[in-house]
Amino acid sequence: MKITWLGHSGFKIAIADKVLLIDPWIDGNPVFPKDRRDEALHDATHIFLTHGHGDHAANALDIAKSLGIPVFCIHELATMWEDRDGVTVNGFGKGGTIALDDVKVTMVNASHSSSVDFEGDTLRYAGGEAGLMISGEGHTIYASGDTDIMADMDWMGDYHKPDIGILCCGGHYTMDMDRAAYAAKRYFNFTTVIPCHYKTFPILAQSAQPLVDTLPGVNVLTPDVMETIEI
């Protein structure tokens, strides 16, 4: 398995024979190196979105069309986008699982909000916010999406038993470092944690060291943008 951070909340995950793009916000992302766009998207097979906000979903349709790959997201957002030329958008809901041969992606709850700037109009409701449980190669990754701590993490950790956590932790809009560490310790048994949704803007946390310091015994990895982790 290879996990590449695309900056902010974007990830490229090569798992089994699939290459998933999770919330691939690249164009307009201030921390993404523009000259590495083709490299970031190379070999991608599917796009998954946690919610409709622009810093997660703004590039999804363009990427999907240019690569000829499908997008998976919550039903309401898929319905909003389903008539776009040259793009296949598949809607599913919380508790639903997309089976991609040896890879399974289940949508789970999050605590945030979701809207989309639809064709330059006012913001429109884009269905519920979500996280993702991604299973394959003997591992389960919990990609939290944008969320705060929530009691649902209790059953999610017990039922799905993720060993890898990709956790938002930049604060202001999501959990901060302390809250993400609390959630990781109370509700999950991660062997590896990768922080995200930080360092992108000044209002967000700029260092994940508090997360590292608060999770002794957990391999907290803080890759640079476009750095690949092999697990």
Q: What is the pLDDT along the chain (231 residues), one digit of tens a residue?
A: 999 999 999 999 999 999 999 999 999 999 999 999 999 999 999 999 999 988 999 999 999 999 999 999 999 999 988 877 789 999 999 999 999 999 999 999 999 989 887 666 677 887 899 999 999 999 999 999 999 999 999 999 999 999 999 999 999 999 999 999 999 999 999 999 999 999 999 999 999 999 999 999 999 999 999 999 999
Quote the strand ranges of the chain, DSSP E.
2-7, 10-15, 18-22, 46-48, 71-74, 89-92, 97-100, 103-109, 115-117, 123-125, 130-136, 139-143, 164-168, 192-196, 219-220, 228-230
183 contacts 157 by C-beta, under 8 angstroms: no
CA 3 – CA 1 distance, rounded (Å): 7
The DSSP element (H or E) to which 211 belongs, if any, is: helix 209-214
Question: What domains are there in the chain, each with its CATH number?
Answer: 2-224 (3.60.15.10)
Q: What are phi and psi of 66, to 5 degrees?
A: -70, -30
